[in-house]
Structure formats: structure tokens, C-alpha cells
């Protein structure tokens, strides 16, 4: 589902999403296609659900945003071994 469709269906709400299709651009994650997981009236509930999903299924890509947001971009953040592995892949790719 595209972000514009999410905004139309859930105006002025916090939504927890699974990223279906995205790409990286200058340390930002540009999200093109998502699946709706849940919706909330407040950020704390959305964040708690997001953290729960990340903990249970760390191999999947999740995010949460308010539907008033103009576009669906997030600053990339890497932690631990995944960060090392991705940096190494980028180094190999850029050689």
C-alpha cells in the first residue's frame, strides 16, 4: 500500500507499518510500499507495538509514523553486528 492510501484510510492517526518495498538514499530509508499492522491514537502506544514487533521478529522491517507526515522517509540507524555487516557490504560494493 502506498503512503497516500494509508493517509486516506487512517487520517490523523499513528500507524505501525511493515515495510514491503524501500530503498536507501544518503542515509535515509525511502519507503515505497507498506502493510498496515496496527493504528493508534497516541505515539506511545504505537512505539510500544513497534518495539514488540521488532523484538518478536527482528528480521522484518517495521516503522511507525503519524499520517499527517508528508512523506515516508526515515533516517537509517544501524546497531550492533548488522551495522558492521552493512558497512562492510557498502565498502565492497563501492570498490
**How much is the pLDDT for 15?**
98
The two beta strands, 62-66 and 14-25, are: antiparallel
Q: What's the pLDDT tens digit per position in 39-92?
A: 999 999 999 999 999 999 999 999 999 999 999 988 887 655 455 455 444 444
79 burial via Cβ count (<10 Å: 0-12, 13-18, 19+): exposed
Q: Share the mean pLDDT of the chain.
A: 85
| C-alpha to C-alpha distances, 6 to 28, 34, 66, 81, nearest whole angstrom | 20, 9, 10, 33
Assessment of whether the complete model's pTM goes beyond 0.75: yes
**How much is the pLDDT for 89?**
45
Q: With bands split at pLDDT 50, 70 and 90, how would you rate the model's confidence at 28?
A: confident
Chain-centroid distance, C-alpha 6: 14
Share of the chain above pLDDT 90, in %: 66
Amino acid at each position: 500500500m502506498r503512503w497516500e492510501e494509508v493517509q486516506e484510510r487512517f487520517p490523523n492517526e499513528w500507524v505501525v507499518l511493515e515495510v514491503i518495498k524501500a530503498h536507501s538514499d544518503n542515509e535515509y530509508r525511502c519507503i515505497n510500499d507498506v502493510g498496515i499492522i496496527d493504528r493508534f491514537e497516541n505515539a506511545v502506544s504505537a512505539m510500544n507495538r513497534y518495539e514488540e514487533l521488532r523484538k518478536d521478529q527482528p528480521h522484518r522491517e517495521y516503522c511507525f509514523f503519524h499520517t499527517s507526515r508528508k512523506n515516508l522517509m526515515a533516517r537509517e540507524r544501524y546497531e550492533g553486528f548488522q551495522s558492521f555487516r552493512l558497512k562492510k557490504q557498502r565498502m565492497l560494493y563501492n570498490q
